[in-house]
Amino acid sequence: MSALTPQQKKLFQRLSTDRQQNAKILQKRSMMGIQSGVIEKYSEQAHFIYELLQNADDVKATQARFILNQNGLIFAHNGSIHFSITDPHTEDSKPLGHINAITSIGQSNKHENQIGKFGLGFKAVFQYTHAPEIYDPPFCFKIENFIVPRLLTRDHPERQAKETLFYFPFHNPSQAFPPILEKLKNLNHALLFLRYLTEINWTTPQTNQGIYIKTVKPITDNIAQITIQEQHFLVFTDHTHSIAYRLSKRTTEVLHEQRLPIYCFFPTKEITPLRFILHAPFLLTDSRETIKQNEDWNKKLIQALAQLTVDSLNMIKSLNLLTEEFFNVLPINEADFPTDHLLRALYETVLTHLQSDKALLPTQGGDYTTRDKAYLAENPALINLLTPEQLSQLVKNQNAQWIFPQTTAPTLRQYVKHHLINQELNSDKLIRCLTKAFIQAQTDE
């Protein structure tokens, strides 16, 4: 194990002394609620697993692994950015080193576009351990009393070359092991929006094991098909925000049966009426479980996601995925998006775009048309009676088209009827449109 330099030793000792002084304050009866409040802020058990993955992705790790046993948990990754330390006396004016940040409360060395910028996330591990250990030579240390770093004299035997390893000895194994195992078994979409991590392995002595692998198939610079555990997603990205459509096993259609949560790199508890995933660096409540309401930053992100959604429709169309069924994925039920709803802007932006001069409405002939040329048959049988050419003659509208010929789902049909057509036609209306010239022009075919 490489040794600390004299300067690193000096800074570590200075930091340890500083944090000991702070710990004495936290141990006062009047301050005891601070520590418990930080530890217990997550309603979800073993949420710290997400925090560990976030930290790994922030330091550009591509692979991460967990080893879980009854006595503790090992987490290791191959991140290329390693632990650093800075003078605790300059923390008010200069960026924090990694060790400074991890032994602080409410401070962080992360930038705005990195995950977990509250700097409190790592403290969730204290729900299960009293003294987490960190091995990233030359820095090998444990954290006592919540914030006090103590040097360790040996490297961890499980750490592989170029790895950073964390070890969490459990203070109550019977309470720690089950929820952590359950979390490790259910990390299905954890890799979806991470920038660097593509593989997560986990093992236990009881032969339980698992692996999550993300494969990325680029379509353009900002569009990719991502596969995780045989689940396929079509992901559109614009800078820091993304949307993801779930694809069928054969990737031939977009799925819409399930309502999905909003993501801020990982799923929040903000379940939306949407049938696709929104992801952005939202300002979250301190527990990272819900989005802060009435925040201008979050409103701007929602508007950007709305624009990304309508921008995605042309690619959906070119990939032959813009079917009648696809429209069930979109925000089409206004009752789900009242005027004060967080995602109201998305409903309005999509509606405006579908009513524009963009040919996005599926026709009887397998093509697409615009609202001004779109007609809906009250009775689907009418579609077989009139070709588009005949329909155009009757309604005196060149290039008129029957749209959504197969749609019977009430919500989608009402949306189309009220917002996306020139007119709905029934037998009586068509009869009134008949002229002698039209009848004479028809053949017996």
For residue 199, the domain's CATH number is 3.30.565
- Taking alpha carbons only, the member of 336, 329, 333 closest to residue 310 is 329
Residue 214 falls inside a structural domain: no
Do 350 and 383 fall within a single domain?
Answer: no
Domain termination residue (choose one: 187, 209, 231): 209
Do 347 and 368 fall within a single domain?
Answer: no
Do 101 and 11 fall within a single domain?
Answer: yes
- Taking alpha carbons only, the member of 124, 151, 122 closest to residue 135 is 151
Cβ-proximal residues to 2 (8 Å cutoff; 6+ apart), any chain = 137, 138
pTM for the structure as a whole: 0.88
Cβ-proximal residues to 324 (8 Å cutoff; 6+ apart), any chain = 362, 404, 405, 406, 407, 412
Q: What does the angle CA 4 – CA 7 – CA 9 come to, to the nearest 5 degrees?
A: 50
15 — alpha (psi -120 to 50), left (phi > 0) or beta?
A: alpha
Do 313 and 239 fall within a single domain?
Answer: yes
374, 403 in Cβ contact below 8 A? yes
Provide the pLDDT for residue 429.
Answer: 80
Domain termination residue (choose one: 181, 209, 237): 209
Do 133 and 161 fall within a single domain?
Answer: yes
CA dihedral 320, 302, 117, 277 (to 10 degrees): -30
Do 285 and 326 fall within a single domain?
Answer: yes
What is the tally of structural domains in the chain? 3
How far is residue 57's CA from residue 59's CA, in Å, rounded to a whole number?
5
Do 284 and 164 fall within a single domain?
Answer: no
Residue 263 falls inside a structural domain: yes
Residue 265 falls inside a structural domain: yes
Provide the pLDDT for residue 45.
Answer: 74
Provide the pLDDT for residue 393.
Answer: 85
Record the tokens describing residue 368, joined without a space. Answer: 């697409």
Residue 419 falls inside a structural domain: yes
By residue range, what is the domain housing residue 92? 6-209
Amino acid of residue 21: Q
Residue 215 falls inside a structural domain: no
Sign of CA dihedral 42, 45, 46, 50: negative
Do 237 and 185 fall within a single domain?
Answer: no
Residue 216 falls inside a structural domain: no
Q: What is the DSSP letter of 77?
A: E
Do 253 and 349 fall within a single domain?
Answer: yes
Provide the pLDDT for residue 121.
Answer: 72
Quick check: bond before 138 cis, omega within 30?
A: yes
Do 350 and 368 fall within a single domain?
Answer: no
Do 333 and 368 fall within a single domain?
Answer: no
Cβ-proximal residues to 57 (8 Å cutoff; 6+ apart), any chain = 115, 194, 195, 196, 197, 265
One digit per residue, the tens of pLDDT, for the chain of length 445 reads 678 999 999 999 999 999 999 988 887 777 766 666 666 666 567 888 998 999 999 999 999 999 999 999 999 999 999 999 999 999 888 889 999 999 988 655 444 444 433 356 788 899 899 999 999 999 999 999 999 999 999 999 999 999 999 999 999 999 999 999 999 999 989 999 999 999 999 999 887 899 999 999 999 999 999 999 899 999 999 999 999 999 999 999 999 988 999 999 999 988 899 999 999 999 988 777 789 988 999 999 999 999 999 999 999 999 999 999 999 999 999 999 999 999 999 999 999 999 999 999 999 999 999 999 999 998 888 888 888 888 888 888 999 999 999 988 999 999 999 999 999 988 888 878 777 777 767 765 5
Domain termination residue (choose one: 331, 354, 377): 354
Provide the pLDDT for residue 285.
Answer: 82
Residue 403 falls inside a structural domain: yes
Provide the pLDDT for residue 203.
Answer: 97
Do 48 and 91 fall within a single domain?
Answer: yes
